[in-house]
Amino acid sequence: MESVDGNSGDTYSFAMKRAKEVRAKLDPRFPSFLKLMLRSHVSGGFWLHIPSSFCKLHMPKHDQTIVLEDETGKAYEVKYLADKMALSAGWKGFSIQHNLLEGDVIVFHFMPFNKIKVYIVRASSSGEIIDGALCNSNLNANAGERDLGGRDESKNGEDSSGKNTDGVFEGSFVDFQEFHVTVNNVIIDSMLTEDVRRNYYELCLARSSYLHDLLKSDNNMLAAGIITETTKIANNIRECKLSTSNDDFAMWDKTLEGFEVLGMDVRFLRSRLSYLVNIASKMRETPRLKRYAEARLERDCREEEIQILKSRLQEIKQAKMKLDNYIAVLKVEVGSFEVIFEEEANRSWS
């Protein structure tokens, strides 16, 4: 679960507990996070920072308009600032319109097309969801959709493997500090760097499960290597550009395919990769992009020519400098000849 800003005092503990219950009923196919409202979120600057791990995995890479939809279905446009990982313009209006107060907890449910469903849990003794009577019906509908998906769920929300099926981790899998990677009943955290472990946590959080649960490996070091390489490829996918080569895409997919055969849950990474390869292929075939690529290539050629000429010019300057020094030395010798010649020229006629 994403980290939540603020304290966890008695005043807000019930609201937070109720918010977690609300989140547990959301459709797990779409990511979500909780946010405790601080004074700075609902007064003063009216900025709302979003957890960095959520931004890296799900939010746009550039500034963009996001639609917040409350439980009544009313939509509000807000500006998402990618560099600051925060909601800015429009958040003040949303906060005032919904009378948000310090201590309220908001459940953000990220939907397709940059829309975020918002569920507000008030910091009251009952943890009541004030805004929107449709909240419970929406959550129940989502739960119904999951039931229709063919899962064999028990009444307590767990499947036969004992894992929570509502998309929220149970037990120790609550926050990063309590996240541990266990292989063959051995914790292998020490075999992973801090960055790898954090990146892997974010991937597992996005999938609501440990990606290595079904990994077939008796070698813990090999398992650590697979996890490390998986996070590296995931980062490469997130940071790839339209100019990324097909060879790179193919290499990443081939590696992930091998991991999948071994039991790693990386199908979602391969699906994202396949999608990116498909749209990249289509975009690269557009006339405008072709002209853009050709123009860049020609510019690079001209830049290379400039560098060659600059190098040649430097060589010529150095050659000239050597000649200047040589001429200075010769000038001294020539000067003595000039003196002798002038003396001879000025001799008396007798």
Return the structure tokens found at 138.
Answer: 């929406």
Successive 10-residue mean pLDDT values, the chain, 350 residues: 42 77 86 85 76 83 87 86 86 87 89 85 60 38 36 35 36 65 89 92 85 88 94 94 91 95 93 92 83 86 92 93 90 83 84
Q: Return the pLDDT at 139.
A: 41
Q: Check residue 88 and give its pLDDT.
A: 84
DSSP annotation of 266:
-
Which residue in this structure is represented by tokens 């917040």? 68
Return the bridge partners of 158, or none: 164
pLDDT at 141: 39
The pTM for the full model equals 0.41
Domain regions of the chain by residue span: 10-148, 176-284
DSSP-derived secondary structure for 114-127: TEEEEEEE-SSTT-
Query: Is 62 within 8 Å of 25 (Cβ atoms)?
Result: no
Closest by CA to 173, choosing from 210, 144, 225, is 210
Q: Which of 60, 64, 8 minimizes the C-alpha distance to 38?
A: 8
pLDDT of residue 199: 92
Note every long-range contact of 255-258, with CB atoms under 8 Å and residues 24 or more positions apart, other chains counting.
Answer: 255/229, 256/230
pLDDT at 331: 85
Q: Residue 119 and residue 114: Cα distance in Å, rounded?
A: 16
Burial category of 337 from C-beta neighbours within 10 Å (exposed 0-12, middle 13-18, buried 19 and up): exposed
Measure Cα distances from 139 to 94, 109, 144 in Å: 22, 11, 9
Residue 333: predicted pLDDT: 80
| CATH class of segment(s) 10-148 | mainly beta
Among residues 15, 158, 129, the alpha carbon closest in space to that of 70 is found at 129
